[in-house]
Amino acid sequence: MTVYNTPSDAANTAVRSFLTSVGQHYLGKAFNTGSGSGKATWLRICDDFGGMCAYCGTLAPMQIEHLVMFNRTEYGLHHPGNVVPVCRPCNKRARDVNNQYVPWEAHLAHVCGGEGSEEYMSRYSKILGHVAKYNYPALTNHERHAIRVIAEALYENIKTEAEKALSMYRKLDAAFVQSPKTPEVAKS
Ligand SMILES: [Zn+2]
């Protein structure tokens, strides 16, 4: 549980909520992996991968991974076709030379010893099979663009609102509080 929440955290949460709603729009129902039919779907997906990490193949407690990242970089949707089980280390995706997270294919190559390896080929096609099986929507460039524009606007609005709230509080504090809270400078 996060205990230190910045305006950016609030804005990122709003973006993920939007990407969840868009995923739900395409799925036609809720996909809450924590309960009900969403949880049943998630457990079936874990079974499809034989209880193993979709990237490196280790048997370990599985975490939810969004192939197309569920954030402001890639705008992946929260949708069964975009969700695979991974181990804890693989949930922290590899980064490139510019310290940016790499696409899932590059992370897969990273943990499988390169794109030419047999492991890579078999896991790559397994993952593509999963995406197809659960009908992850093949978004057009226009749709992707619309999602990005709306998500960016949402991010900026929420961040601005959170910052405005603090500024409002500062003004009220200054107006109503007689003595300043800041310690008085020692008089010399
Ligand atoms: Zn792994």
pLDDT in tens, 116-157: 999 999 999 999 999 999 999 999 999 999 999 999 999 999
Instruction: Tell whether 156 is covered by a domain.
Output: no
pLDDT at 61: 83
112 is in which domain, residue-wise?
28-139
Dist. CA 4–CA 2, nearest whole Å: 6
Model pLDDT for residues 103-115, shown as the tens digit of each residue: 999 999 999 999 9
Model pLDDT for residues 56-87, shown as the tens digit of each residue: 999 988 899 999 999 998 999 999 999 999 99
Instruction: Tell whether 165 is covered by a domain.
Output: no
pLDDT at 123: 97
Q: How far is the CA of 90 from the centre of ligand 1 (A)?
A: 4
Split into its structural domains, the chain has a count of 1
Report whether 151 contacts 75 (CB < 8 A). yes
Main-chain dihedrals φ then ψ at residue 66, nearest 5 degrees: -95, 120
Give DSSP secondary structure letters for 46-89: HHHTTTB-TTT--BS--EEEESS-SSTTT----SGGGEEEE-HH
Q: How far is the CA of 83 from the centre of ligand 1 (A)?
A: 14
- Residue 164, helix vs strand vs coil: helix
pLDDT at 1: 56
**CATH number, domain with residue 106:** 1.10.30
Dist. CA 129–CA 109, nearest whole Å: 17
Instruction: Tell whether 145 is covered by a domain.
Output: no
- Residues within 5 A (CB) of ion ligand 1: 53, 55-56, 87, 90
